Amino acid sequence: MIGETPIEEWADRLEAALEACGGSQHRVFVVRETDSTQAAARRIGASANDVVVAWRQTAGRGRLGRRWLDPENLGIAATFVRTAAAPEYLAVASAVGTAQAAEKLLDRPVGIKWPNDIIVDGRKLAGILIQQTSSLAFIGIGMNVNQIRWPPKLADRAVSLAQISRPVDRLEALRILLPAVFRSLSQERAVLEKEFARRDWLRGSRATFQRGQEIVTGQVLRTDPGRGLLLSTDAGEVFLPAATTTVRRAAETDTRGAVS
Ligand code: BTN
């Protein structure tokens, strides 16, 4: 296990990391323990460009009502607040920023499984939950950092930085993640589309999706930051929306990540 920077230093060090990349408009809230940084951001009254980071998160939320569990407190949990925007754009931008941060920490390429799971060697390294009110978007990112053991049902689906490369001080991971995500959330769509495409784990594969109650199967053509995932089906081409679609089965390894 690695020695961790004490929580008392987190806020200043993270603000400095954001300032160094030209982001002096950001406020960083570090909470010692919270149920979910998504809920904490709302309770604190965080506004656009703020970020809420938890030292320990006890009831993390995943996509589509799932849970994001980290009972040993070995991962990172952060909620980025932005002005409300198109869910497709936020999904792609946050995934690209998280992937870039992971690549910097690992010194190797990673994949993005649409809409926004970060995948390494077929296993999930990080997950993203986007929730919106009429005015604000809450982009929650969880990354597995120092886990080396998983519950049996996650063992072949989840992976951490420590398992791929080396144990990492969680503050170090956050100092890379925060600027990368804010930068990506300000990026133009054309750039994001290219950055996503380079890492698109589903592109070209035959996959099955659930959209609401409907099951759709087809070949994945590409991801459009404005319209969602473009699928070629027997009935023609269809765009699948990020917020309400889940991947049921892909031709490559089927992963659902570190959620139960
Ligand atoms: C998923 O893969 O289903 C999304 C997981 C998102 C987890 C993060 S951890 C920080 C933020 N707070 C939460 O309660 N959830 C997100």
How far apart, in whole angstroms, are the C-alpha atoms of residue 16 and residue 67? Answer: 32
Asked if 44 and 114 sit in the same domain, the reply is: yes
Residues 38 and 123 in one domain: yes
Q: Are residues 36 and 153 in the same domain?
A: yes
Distance of CA 163 from the midpoint of ligand 1 (Å): 20
Looking at residue 151, its pLDDT comes to 92
- Whether 258 is in a domain gets the answer no
For 24-64, the pLDDT digits (tens) are 689 999 999 999 999 999 999 999 999 999 999 999 999 88
In the predicted structure, residue 259 carries a pLDDT above the cut 80: no
User: For residue 260, is pLDDT > 60?
Assistant: no
Q: Quick one: 117 and 21 in the same domain?
A: yes
Give the pLDDT mean for 59-79. 95
- Shortest-distance atom of ligand 1 to CA 63: 3
Q: Is the pLDDT of residue 258 over 60?
A: no
Range of the domain at 132: 7-198
Q: What angle do CA 92, 209, 222 make, to 5 degrees?
A: 40
Q: Would 176 be classed as within a structural domain?
A: yes
Separation between Cα atoms, residue 146 and residue 141, nearest integer Å: 16
Cα 126 vs. chain centroid, distance in angstroms?
5
- How far does residue 226's CA lie from ligand 1's centre (Å)? 23
pLDDT tens for each residue of 216-232: 999 999 988 888 999 99
Q: How many domains does the chain have?
A: 2
The answer, yes or no, to whether residue 252 has pLDDT greater than 90, is no
CATH number of the structural domain spanning residue 92: 3.30.930.10
148 and 46 within one domain = yes
What's the rounded Cα separation, in Å, for the pair 139 and 135? 13
Ligand 1 center to 233 CA (angstroms): 31
Whether residue 64 is found in the same domain as residue 11: yes
How many angstroms separate the CA atoms of 102 and 118, rounded? 8
The overall average pLDDT reported for the chain is 92
How far is 56 from 22, CA to CA, in rounded Å? 28
DSSP bridge pairs for 155: none
Atom 16 (ligand 1): residue with closest C-alpha? 140
Which protein residues touch ligand 1 with a CB less than 6 Å away? 36-38, 60-63, 66, 68, 77-79, 117, 127-129, 140-142, 257, 259
145 and 235 belong to one structural domain:
no
**Per-residue model confidence (pLDDT) at position 244:** 83
pTM of the model: 0.92
CA of 119 to the centre of ligand 1 (A): 15
Q: Are residues 165 and 100 in the same domain?
A: yes
129 with 218, same domain: the answer is no
pLDDT score recorded for residue 11 = 97
Q: What is the predicted pLDDT for the residue at 23?
A: 66
In a domain, 1, yes or no: no
Q: How far is the CA of 260 from the centre of ligand 1 (A)?
A: 12
